[in-house]
Amino acid sequence: MSTNLTRSDAIYASLRRAILEQALKPGTKLPEDSIGDTFSVSRTSARNALVRLSSDGLVEIKPNRGAAVAMPTLEEAEEVFALRRCLEREVIERLCKRMPKDGIDALISHVREEERALQASSPRSIRLAGEFHILLAELTGSKLLIDFISQVVSRSSLILARFGRPHSAECGIDEHIQLIEALKNLDADAATRIMDHHLHAVEDRAKVDDKDDGPDISEILSRYMSASE
Amino acid sequence: MSTNLTRSDAIYASLRRAILEQALKPGTKLPEDSIGDTFSVSRTSARNALVRLSSDGLVEIKPNRGAAVAMPTLEEAEEVFALRRCLEREVIERLCKRMPKDGIDALISHVREEERALQASSPRSIRLAGEFHILLAELTGSKLLIDFISQVVSRSSLILARFGRPHSAECGIDEHIQLIEALKNLDADAATRIMDHHLHAVEDRAKVDDKDDGPDISEILSRYMSASE
DNA sequence: CCCATTTATATTGCATCCAATTTTCTGTTG
DNA sequence: CAACAGAAAATTGGATGCAATATAAATGGG
């Protein structure tokens, strides 16, 4: 159907993935020509992708001074998690009112994939952990809610990348499993409690070093040129 | 200090204002050339602005087929108001926990301005009505919450433009006043009740015609070339 | 030797140009 | 006259080039 991916779409997707998997760390400069060179496209396409990433809050663009992977402050981190608790509570409430028939199955199979990726210590595990929460939002059926949850989850990844331990998988998988159990029983209170605890655990994981950023954009990005997954 | 507005910033701001004040109605095509001509810039800048507006959900870009002011469906409209209730409840809860010292004053003076604009039947009144809710978010001090509320408020304007009466001011000013009163008393329950009622009233206002879009982008936009206000 | 000033380099903002795609117009045919 | 096929016009996606700004390096003075 719409196999219509423009070049800037591809770059947008690749950069996004690289950032979410913490290959591009917060603060890393993203010069337009470096990106263009890496992906063999013009600055125009790179620029377009950067603008969109900036709208997502993943990249910060300063006028005349270029783009860099966003560096959320601790203050912003707190805002993100506060809002995230608000939004994820909404998700849970809706799911406990109406859970799609094959919703639980989808969640379970996602957690399975998380486990696999974690055992293989693949960088995918970082992204998959976040995508569990996006899957939850998808089960509500609200496009907008999916969009908003995606935004806070993305920013959380960035926060973990900035303040968390080396390659901290964002979420504890066992807590995901507990949450699924509560949702299966349509127990909104329990689910909310688990979710709050879960998010606090994630937030607490963001209290350590502040490792500096590395260069070599080209080298890193070359691994992200291919399609998704 | 940062008097650093790029051309595409100016276009972004102008288009945004034009859309929020319902001068550009949902569905209106936004060809890059026309925009560039109107503002005397190249397509490049126009394009950049359109991309950002698309991230805001105010404009819909279809690959190879151009941009148009977004036309939210009734389904999307419900999603917007549902999420908006969730977010505005959060705002109220936070404000009742901690309201800035001059917060109430700011709200009152804003409502005054709304009243003035309404009497002058200025198109500003449409925008100001929405900005009341953004001001509420600003009082919480959370950048992110401001951002998210702005998004849902913007989309609400679009929904009103599409489904509401001719130039329905989005909000009832008296309800704004009631809300301020409840906030002054730090009465979260009352404030939430008023807000819910208020948003339902706004949502109900979105149930009428589906007036078609008008052409003449250049003519409309020429009134939006100047700076803000 | 350190710091300010100037020069050079790198990078962005933007206009213009071209190829690819879509949309509109036109003429033909059943 | 409706429907279709093809050509022409309009419009987008993207590449390149240039001026403006920012960053780095070099130069000179204290």
Q: Under a CB-based contact definition with an 8 Å cutoff, are residues B106 and B185 in contact? A: no
Contact B86 A83 (CB under 8 A): no
In a domain, residue A228? The reply is no
CA–CA distance, B8 with A180 (Å, rounded to integer):
46
Q: Which of A42-56, A188-202, B200-214 has the lowest mean pLDDT?
A: B200-214
Same domain flag for A90 and A164? yes
**B27 pLDDT above the threshold of 70:** yes
What is the mean predicted confidence (pLDDT) over A123-144? 90
What are the Cα distances from residue B111, in Å, to A125, B147, B171, B179, B184?
49, 21, 11, 11, 15
**A34 pLDDT above the threshold of 70:** yes
- Find the domain containing B99 and state its range: 74-204
Separation between the CA of B191 and the C1’ of D21 (whole angstroms): 50
Which residues in chain B are contacts of A152 at CB distance < 8 A? 144
In a domain, residue A124? The reply is yes
Dig out the tokens for A126 from the structure: 């970082």
Contact B87 A82 (CB under 8 A): no
Same domain flag for A142 and A45? no
Q: What residues have CB less than 8 Å from A190, skipping those under 6 apart?
A: A182
Q: pLDDT digit string (tens) for B52-99?
A: 999 999 999 999 999 999 999 888 988 999 999 999 999 999 998 999
| pLDDT bucket at A196, cuts 50 / 70 / 90 | confident
Q: Which of A98-112, A184-198, B190-204 has the lowest mean pLDDT?
A: B190-204
Same domain flag for A86 and A152? yes
Which residues in chain B are contacts of A63 at CB distance < 8 A? 2, 4, 6
In a domain, residue B1? The reply is no
Which residues in chain A are contacts of B55 at CB distance < 8 A? 52, 55-56
pTM: predicted TM-score of the whole model, two decimal places: 0.85
Same domain flag for A197 and A84? yes
| pLDDT bucket at A191, cuts 50 / 70 / 90 | confident
Separation between the CA of B15 and the C1’ of D14 (whole angstroms): 24
Task: Note the ipTM here.
Answer: 0.85
Q: Residue A156 in 3-state DSSP?
A: helix
Q: What pLDDT score was predicted for residue A209?
A: 43
Q: Is the Cβ atom of A2 within 7 Å of strand C at any atom? A: no
For residue A60, what is the domain's CATH number? 1.10.10.10
Residue of B nearest to A5 (CA): B63
CA–CA distance, B22 with B19 (Å, rounded to integer):
5
Q: pLDDT digit string (tens) for A174-183?
A: 888 888 988 8
In a domain, residue B29? The reply is yes
| pLDDT bucket at B1, cuts 50 / 70 / 90 | very low
In a domain, residue A12? The reply is yes
Separation between the CA of A78 and the C1’ of D21 (whole angstroms): 35
Same domain flag for A16 and A93? no
In a domain, residue B229? The reply is no
CA–CA distance, A223 with A124 (Å, rounded to integer):
13
Q: Which nucleotides of C are covered by protein (CB under 7 A)?
A: 10-17, 21-23
| pLDDT bucket at B8, cuts 50 / 70 / 90 | very high
Contact A82 B142 (CB under 8 A): yes
Q: What pLDDT score was predicted for residue B164?
A: 74
Contact B64 A4 (CB under 8 A): yes
State the average pLDDT for chain B.
Answer: 85
| pLDDT bucket at B176, cuts 50 / 70 / 90 | confident
Q: Under a CB-based contact definition with an 8 Å cutoff, are residues B25 and B158 in contact? A: no
In a domain, residue A156? The reply is yes
CA–CA distance, B191 with B184 (Å, rounded to integer):
10
Q: What pLDDT score was predicted for residue A166?
A: 61
Same domain flag for B15 and B30? yes
Q: pLDDT digit string (tens) for A65-79?
A: 999 999 998 889 889
User: Percent of chain A scored above 90 by pLDDT?
Assistant: 52
- Decide which of B164 and B81 is more confident: B81
CA–CA distance, A145 with A150 (Å, rounded to integer):
8
Dig out the tokens for A193 from the structure: 């409690």
**A224 pLDDT above the threshold of 50:** yes
Q: Is the Cβ atom of A27 within 7 Å of strand C at any atom? A: no
* Residue A144 near chain B (CB below 8 Å): yes
State the average pLDDT for chain A.
Answer: 85
Separation between the CA of A145 and the C1’ of D5 (whole angstroms): 46
Q: Note the Cα B75 to chain centre separation in Å.
A: 19
The C-alpha of A218 sits at a distance from chain B's nearest C-alpha, in angstroms, of 25
For residue A113, what is the domain's CATH number? 1.20.120.530
Q: What pLDDT score was predicted for residue B168?
A: 59
Same domain flag for A91 and A36? no
Same domain flag for B147 and B164? yes
Same domain flag for A108 and A30? no
Same domain flag for A46 and A137? no
Q: Which of A152-161, B176-185, B212-221 has the lowest mean pLDDT?
A: B212-221
* Residue B83 near chain A (CB below 8 Å): yes
Residue of A nearest to B80 (CA): A144
In a domain, residue A1? The reply is no
Same domain flag for A123 and A88? yes
| pLDDT bucket at A14, cuts 50 / 70 / 90 | very high
| pLDDT bucket at A214, cuts 50 / 70 / 90 | very low
What is the mean predicted confidence (pLDDT) over A165-169? 60
Q: What pLDDT score was predicted for residue B71?
A: 93
Number of domains in chain A: 2
Cα Rg of chain B, angstroms: 18
Same domain flag for B131 and B84? yes
